[in-house]
Structure 1
Amino acid sequence: MARFPDNEIISLVSKAPRFDLAESVGPSVRLAELIGMAFGDDADFSLDYGTAAGNPELRQEIASESGVHADDVVVTVGGMHALFLIAFTLCQTGDEAIVAEPVFPLARNALTAVGAVTRPLPLSFDTGYRIDLDELRKLLSPKTKLVSLASPQNPSGVAIPERTLREIVAMLAAHAPDAWLLIDETYREAAYGEDAAAPSAACLGPKVISVSSLSKCHGSAGLRIGWAITRDTALRQALVTAKFSTVISCSPVDEALALAVFRQRERIIGERRKLLAQNLQLVENWVLRHPGHIDWVRPDAGALCCVRLKPGVFDAAAVERFYATLARYSTRVAPGAWFGDDPLVFRLGFGLPTLTALAIALECVSVALTEATRAPEGAAAF
Structure 2
Amino acid sequence: MVKIDEFAVERWMDDYENDAKFNLAETCCASISLDDLLALSGKSDQKDKVLDFSKKQVYGAIRGSTALRTNVARLYCSDSSTQLPADQVLVTNGAIQANFLALYTNVGPGDHVICHYPTYQQLYSVPKSFGAEVSLWRSRESEGWRLDLDELRSLIRPNTKYIVINNPQNPTGAVLTRANLQGIVDIAREHSIILHSDEVYRPLFHSLDTGSQDPPSVLSFGYEKTIVTGSMSKAFSLAGIRLGWITSLSPKIIEACASTRDYTVISVSQVDDQIATFALDSPTVHNLLARNIDLAQRNLAALDDFVKEFKWACQWTRPQAGTTAFIKFSDKSGRPVDDVEFCKRLQLNTGVMFVPGSQCFGGGVDFKGFVRVGYVNEHQVIIDGLKALRVFMSDGYAALSLA
Q: Separation in 1 of the partners of 2:152 and 2:207?
A: 33
Q: Which moved more, 1:96-105 or 1:192-201?
A: 192-201
Q: Separation in 2 of the partners of 1:38 and 1:318?
A: 43
Displacement of 1:198: 3.2
Displacement of 1:193: 8.0
Displacement of 1:269: 1.5
Structure 1 residues 124 and 369, CA, compared in 2 at 3 Å: closer, same or farther? Answer: farther
In 1, are the aligned partners of 2:72 and 2:89 still within 8 Å (CA)? yes
The aligned counterpart of 2:68 is 58
Displacement of 1:310: 3.0
Structure 1 residues 368 and 135, CA, compared in 2 at 3 Å: closer, same or farther? Answer: farther
In 2, are the aligned partners of 1:293 and 1:369 still within 8 Å (CA)? no
The aligned counterpart of 1:173 is 189
The aligned counterpart of 2:41 is none
Any idea what SS the aligned residue of 1:222 has? helix
The aligned counterpart of 1:293 is 313
Is 2:251 the partner of 1:229? no
Residue of 113, 120, 124 corresponding to 1:97: 113
Residue of 295, 298, 304 corresponding to 1:278: 298
Structure 1 residues 321 and 147, CA, compared in 2 at 3 Å: closer, same or farther? Answer: closer
Structure 1 residues 321 and 153, CA, compared in 2 at 3 Å: closer, same or farther? Answer: closer
Is 2:333 the partner of 1:308? no
Q: Separation in 1 of the partners of 2:206 and 2:34?
A: 25
Residue of 326, 345, 350 corresponding to 2:370: 345
Displacement of 1:256: 0.8
Q: Separation in 2 of the partners of 1:58 and 1:113?
A: 32
The aligned counterpart of 1:12 is 13
Note the 1:235-246 alignment, pairs <5 A: 235-246=253-264
TM-score (norm 1): 0.91
Return 5+ residue gaps in structure 1 as ranges: 377-382
Return 5+ residue gaps in structure 2 as ranges: 39-46, 78-83
2:251 maps to amino acid: T
Q: Separation in 1 of the partners of 2:339 and 2:302?
A: 25
The aligned counterpart of 1:380 is none
Q: Separation in 1 of the partners of 2:26 and 2:13?
A: 7
**How many residues get paired?**
371
Is 2:141 the partner of 1:131? no
Is 2:209 the partner of 1:185? no
Q: Separation in 2 of the partners of 1:126 and 1:182?
A: 26
In 2, are the aligned partners of 1:76 and 1:227 still within 8 Å (CA)? yes
Q: Separation in 1 of the partners of 2:231 and 2:340?
A: 34
What's the CA shift string for 1:225-252, capped at 9, x where partnerless? 1111111111111111111222111111
Any idea what SS the aligned residue of 2:235 has? coil
Structure 1 residues 171 and 321, CA, compared in 2 at 3 Å: closer, same or farther? Answer: closer
Any idea what SS the aligned residue of 2:50 has? helix
Note the 1:325-336 alignment, pairs <5 A: 325-336=346-357
1:299 maps to amino acid: P
What's the CA shift string for 1:322-346, capped at 9, x where partnerless? 6413421111111112012412111
Structure 1 residues 375 and 189, CA, compared in 2 at 3 Å: closer, same or farther? Answer: closer
Displacement of 1:315: 5.0
What's the CA shift string for 1:75-126, capped at 9, x where partnerless? 1111111111111111121211111111111222321232222111112221
Residue of 257, 266, 270 corresponding to 2:286: 266
TM-score (norm 2): 0.86
The aligned counterpart of 1:115 is 131
